Structure 1
Amino acid sequence: MDNSNYKILNLVGEGQFGKVYTAIHRQTGELVALKELNPRKFSTKKFLREMRILLSLEHPNIVTCKGIEHNSKGRYLVTEYCEGGTLRDLLETSIELSLEQKLKIITDILEGLNQAHIEGIIHRDLKPENILLCVTSGGWKAKISDFGVAKIELEDVNVSSNIGDTGSPAYMAPEQFYGKYSYSSDLYAIGIMLYEILIGYRPFSGSPNEIMIQHLNLAPKIPPEIPESLAQILKEALQKLPQHRFRTAQEMKTAILRATLELQVYNQSLYSTIPYQSISLNLVYQESIQEPINYVAVKDNFLYLATKKSLLIQSYDHLSNNIEIKDIIKHQFDDKIIEIKSVEDGCIVVTQNPNNYYQYSFFHCGNQKTNLREIKSESFAYAIPNNYSWIALNNTFDNEQGFQIINTKNGNVILNLVKDFLPKQILSLDNNHGVAIYDQLEIDKNQTFLRFFNRRGNWYDAYIISLSLHSLVYHQKVTNTFLTREKQTNNLILINLYPFAIRRIPLNFKADFWICRDNGFICASHQGNIALLDTKGDYLGETNLNLSISSIESLKDDKILVIVNTENGQEKRIYH
């Protein structure tokens, strides 16, 4: 968008009245949603009306409006961006929310709706597609969006509507099919959503005409396994006559909170465990290890195995039904190895001496060694791209600490020391880009910041994630995708940048390792659990080796290299 305050990043979706994009503010880096208004579908009057409604509704459970953006291509409503997607997205995953979290989402909606009703605004189109989710350390925060067909009581008194411009048949109250509406029409829609989130499907289905007939004539069937307190709430919210429903959103919220206390669902985990699905891993290679292996890296047909002060490089071949592993070279270091990482033509080895000097060395796939850089720093974090042309790292210079980018070929400084900026992790995304990941605990201990840079030392996009996260891994073959684990839970977090979206993935165990493989991810624990995910984060299944895992890496041809601890020491194992 030329001459605009915002840079469009990606198309998020397309609604009834136009497309919705995610965009970033060119100066502040703030992420927003840009709702494009198609004048053929959405008049200027309606456009200004929705903006006025949103601006008047300041509430944590209603999407915040930030104004209007005009350019040569059109006009946009600027709103806050909710990285968790819609409630519909969440309902369509295989993840089963805990009862506490289900009821929390509904009470969030009721809180926002109560504020709208106090302001005299009737939404008229409440449905999971119009409920946006923000990720928080406590689960999800729901926010009401899309007031495109909302009515203002004092301005629209005694005005009826055509069916075509109000609501969605699956969530419409009976009176809405006659062009009538009231505050209780919104409560009926929430009753349908509560039914769907509790039971897994809506009470009425079929064609739009069949759904209308059922709304008008049939009482919803409530399964006997639904607790009585919640069944009574559903019955009252879904009464055919408006006057028989809850009088206010606050009254319905109070009833749900009372049921929550009665059912004693507080302090449950955020999610129930996903149904266990077993996978089989076949042992195809096994070898005893003489010296304890602390780190493993794999690149093509080479294995890099690091002990406390040595690096063993091996060749790996799979010939027919036979796996052949040969030693190439073993290199001894004077200092302790603290990390190894595979790159395009070999492996990076990082050592640390007692004076906090870090030596970064490159090993070619053969036996050639190159010392890239020696750095003194009190904070260890670095990134080197596959072509190892630059290194981004935490550095100390003239007794000042900070972040720096250095050319590894000639030693020239690309980015001067950014003082007092010490990322907890740095990742290379490709040969030209990287990301610095850091916390600002003085601001919020439950926030993680991602700040992106290029090889020339220029900063560009920045993202804020409202979660406290462990280290991130970046999938080189699945563009703009990260995987990490949420602290204090078993949940993995899948992050997509374009469009920016966050997905929680519950596991049946707490992962200590999460690594990339060609067609997804491998997650494992020190206790021997191994789970496989696809590139979208969908759970494929898991197993337990019943052995302690020290290290794990992915090999080609869907094989997994695992270093396990046994009673007699360590073993190198390959599974398929």
Structure 2
Amino acid sequence: MYTRSHRQSNYRLLGLVGYGQFGRVYCAMHRQTGELVALKEIHSARLSTQAFLRELWFLLSVDHPNIVACKALEQTPEGRQLVLEYCEGGTLRSQLERLPQLSGEKTLKLACDILTGLDHAHRRGLVHCDIKPENILLHYQRGQWVAKISDFGVAKLAQEADLAGSGQTGSPAYMAPERFDKQYSPASDLYAMGILLFELVAGYRPFSGTPAELRAAHLSRAVPTGLAEPLQSIVLKALKKQPAQRYASAEEMLQALQTLEAGQMVLKKRTPAVPTSVSCWEQPLASLAQPVQALGARSTAEAIQIFWSEGNQAAVSTAPTTAAVTQRRIVALPHRIAALRIAPADSYAATPHGLYRLVQSAATLRYEPVAEFAQSSQVAIAQRWWAALAQSDDAGAWQLSVGPLRTLPRRHTQTLPLPSALVLQQVVAIDNHHLLLVMSASAIATQLYLLTRRGQILSQLTLGLPIAALTPTEQPYRYLCRISLPSVESAALLELKPFRLLPLAGPAAVMVPLPWGYVFADDRGQLQILDRDYQPLGEITVPGSPTAIAPLDSYRLLIALWQSTAGSLYQLDLRTCNLDLVF
């Protein structure tokens, strides 16, 4: 439970995001401006006033885009709080836990960011003394991830390097040999940077073991030579045992890295993953005349009931678990179908101009209007209610309509004070009482609005990346994001409580959550299977471009494929795909 002092401060706490050396770190929002910040607790019993003022001075003296900024200081009965810039991507460590080996382009970019920040700190006489993935935060800006150095709690002034008794602080896995003798210099940070760079490329550190074993390795063991040249030479120079033999400055190491290309940030020997090619498909469940936009299913032990949409047509079919569909029933709606919601009791189809209940009989499928809209709208369907947002053609005002799903047709409509220049991407019902609006501010930025279903805007947030679509996961307030950049589409994980945006690997044209993990698909027919921790389990090649995927149960998928002018609906049994997974 949060303390009284938290509720009375200038900031509303949104959730715990981590632990620092001297207290907890929260994601918080300024009560007046809505700005997201990180609140870093500094308990008086854990850190003296002198040491606290020292860290504060360090932070205020190193204003740089690659160093986490200090915005303010808050005093509470429990101690002090540093108000810091919030980095929604979390720590580099959290990313490495999901993606042990980053792409060469991303590794090079992040390494250069860190060295640029270190160069700025070193020029101001500061030695960080604890460079490691846990102290590197990620922020998305202008279409790419930016690395920012954090936690100057154990930093030293360069002129203190030869002072006796300055203490042995830091993390043994990243400590330079002289650090074990309580010596500090900018070269010590470059040694830690060499360890970090090796880890980013190889997926593991060059030395491991207990603190005593790590000390012995740093002092006397040779660095493994597993990296490709010329990267290997750069890392070896940074990891020289004698500080004088390393790079003379962070700028010099940065210049050496900037001569490399992304394709050179690799190991000497790389065995490419060979996707599982699924060529022996069973008979298609159904043929398709148009690409499927929405797909869903209900499954029993004897049969599956499949719903899909082609253009403005909704179709439902029943099939035995291993045979083609039978009794296909089709109904044409007034407009192109944008989404389907398949529930145990009722099924719904949403179009830009209406929400319709799909009603089945033994031989027919028909629709009943739940709500219809004069303006083109984005519709969200919750468990008991719906919401639709549209922009008027004349004044550009945004109109929100909300109504119940199953009672008498009535709706509540109001105008939202949103900028008319925004482009609406999606409306998401995140729980029984709240909506999330995903709106494009530019080609490389997204505006998120959190509001009640009655239209009260609670908060607004600008992200430096273009979110094209959100897909809900098995966990509340957690969504898979499809990020659409001009040259490439990628994926991220969006957490709302607390707010975090975590990069993921893999294609992102179609994303499907499963009880044990996720399936990502690109438009070339490559499926990537991930576990719940986003670790890859295998890849599958399918004969076509997936346009929609839906789970039947924990191991069977429905996949709608399209090839040139025709398509098919298939069932894929993951148990036959040689995945590193036990069902």
* 1:422-437 correspondence runs (5 A): 422-437=423-438
2:284 maps to a residue whose letter is Q
Is the Cα–Cα contact under 8 Å of residues 295 and 548 in structure 2 kept in the other structure?
A: no
Is the Cα–Cα contact under 8 Å of residues 158 and 186 in structure 2 kept in the other structure?
A: no
CA distance, structure 1, for counterparts of residue 128 and residue 554 of structure 2: 53
- Choose the corresponding residue for 1:520, options 517, 522, 527: 517
Q: Which residue of 1 aligns with 2:558?
A: 561
Q: Does 1:174 align with 2:170?
A: no
Q: Which residue of 1 aligns with 2:302?
A: none
Secondary structure, counterpart of 2:336 in structure 1:
strand
Secondary structure, counterpart of 1:494 in structure 2:
strand
Secondary structure, counterpart of 1:336 in structure 2:
coil
Shift of the 511–119 alpha-carbon distance from structure 1 to 2, 3 Å rule, reads closer
- Choose the corresponding residue for 1:144, options 144, 149, 153: 149
Q: Which residue of 2 aligns with 1:355?
A: none
Shift of the 548–393 alpha-carbon distance from structure 1 to 2, 3 Å rule, reads same
CA distance, structure 2, for counterparts of residue 363 and residue 226 of structure 1: 59
Shift of the 522–278 alpha-carbon distance from structure 1 to 2, 3 Å rule, reads same
CA distance, structure 2, for counterparts of residue 202 and residue 390 of structure 1: 51
CA distance, structure 1, for counterparts of residue 87 and residue 541 of structure 2: 37
* 1:253-332 correspondence runs (5 A): 253-258=254-259, 260=260, 265=263, 275-278=273-276, 286-289=284-287, 292=290, 294-298=292-296, 300-301=298-299, 302-315=305-318, 318=321, 327=327, 330-332=330-332
Shift of the 196–565 alpha-carbon distance from structure 1 to 2, 3 Å rule, reads closer
- Choose the corresponding residue for 1:18, options 17, 23, 26: 23
Q: Which residue of 2 aligns with 1:187?
A: 190
Secondary structure, counterpart of 1:12 in structure 2:
strand
CA distance, structure 1, for counterparts of residue 520 and residue 97 of structure 2: 23
Deviations 1:52-85 (A, max 9, x none): 2101111011110111123344421111122222
Shift of the 399–193 alpha-carbon distance from structure 1 to 2, 3 Å rule, reads closer
Q: Which residue of 1 aligns with 2:249?
A: 248
- Choose the corresponding residue for 2:403, options 407, 420, 424: 407
CA distance, structure 2, for counterparts of residue 118 and residue 249 of structure 1: 10
Deviations 1:100-127 (A, max 9, x none): 4323322222211111122222212222
Is the Cα–Cα contact under 8 Å of residues 479 and 493 in structure 2 kept in the other structure?
A: yes
CA distance, structure 2, for counterparts of residue 246 and residue 293 of structure 1: 57
Q: Which residue of 1 aligns with 2:60?
A: 55
Is the Cα–Cα contact under 8 Å of residues 549 and 565 in structure 1 kept in the other structure?
A: yes
1:212 maps to a residue whose letter is R
Q: Does 1:96 align with 2:101?
A: yes
Secondary structure, counterpart of 2:98 in structure 1:
coil
The alignment covers a number of residue pairs equal to 550
Q: Which residue of 1 aligns with 2:541?
A: 544
CA distance, structure 2, for counterparts of residue 137 and residue 273 of structure 1: 33
1:193 CA drift (Å): 2.1
Q: Which residue of 2 aligns with 1:40?
A: 45
1:368 CA drift (Å): 6.9
- Choose the corresponding residue for 2:128, options 123, 128, 152: 123
Is the Cα–Cα contact under 8 Å of residues 379 and 388 in structure 2 kept in the other structure?
A: yes
CA distance, structure 1, for counterparts of residue 170 and residue 290 of structure 2: 65
Shift of the 362–417 alpha-carbon distance from structure 1 to 2, 3 Å rule, reads farther
Is the Cα–Cα contact under 8 Å of residues 74 and 81 in structure 2 kept in the other structure?
A: yes
CA distance, structure 1, for counterparts of residue 163 and residue 563 of structure 2: 77
* 1:497-536 correspondence runs (5 A): 497-507=496-506, 510-536=507-533
1:435 maps to a residue whose letter is L
1:516 maps to a residue whose letter is P
Deviations 1:198-230 (A, max 9, x none): 4443333332223223333x1533416531x43
Runs of 5+ unmatched residues, structure 1: 353-357
Shift of the 514–179 alpha-carbon distance from structure 1 to 2, 3 Å rule, reads closer
- Choose the corresponding residue for 1:8, options 10, 13, 38: 13
- Choose the corresponding residue for 2:165, options 161, 166, 177: 161
Secondary structure, counterpart of 1:37 in structure 2:
strand
| Larger deviation, residues 145-154 vs 358-367 | 358-367
Shift of the 107–416 alpha-carbon distance from structure 1 to 2, 3 Å rule, reads closer
2:492 maps to a residue whose letter is I
CA distance, structure 2, for counterparts of residue 521 and residue 80 of structure 1: 32
Shift of the 223–351 alpha-carbon distance from structure 1 to 2, 3 Å rule, reads closer
CA distance, structure 1, for counterparts of residue 392 and residue 447 of structure 2: 22
1:440 CA drift (Å): 1.1
1:144 CA drift (Å): 1.1
TM-score by length of 2: 0.83
CA distance, structure 1, for counterparts of residue 275 and residue 29 of structure 2: 40
TM-score by length of 1: 0.84
- Choose the corresponding residue for 1:386, options 375, 383, 403: 383
Shift of the 183–528 alpha-carbon distance from structure 1 to 2, 3 Å rule, reads closer
Secondary structure, counterpart of 1:381 in structure 2:
strand
1:112 maps to a residue whose letter is G
| Larger deviation, residues 3-12 vs 95-104 | 95-104
Aligned residues with identical type, % of pairs: 32
Runs of 5+ unmatched residues, structure 2: 1-5, 300-304, 574-583
1:560 CA drift (Å): 1.9
Is the Cα–Cα contact under 8 Å of residues 29 and 461 in structure 1 kept in the other structure?
A: yes
Secondary structure, counterpart of 2:284 in structure 1:
strand
CA distance, structure 2, for counterparts of residue 233 and residue 570 of structure 1: 51
CA RMSD, aligned part only?
A: 3.3
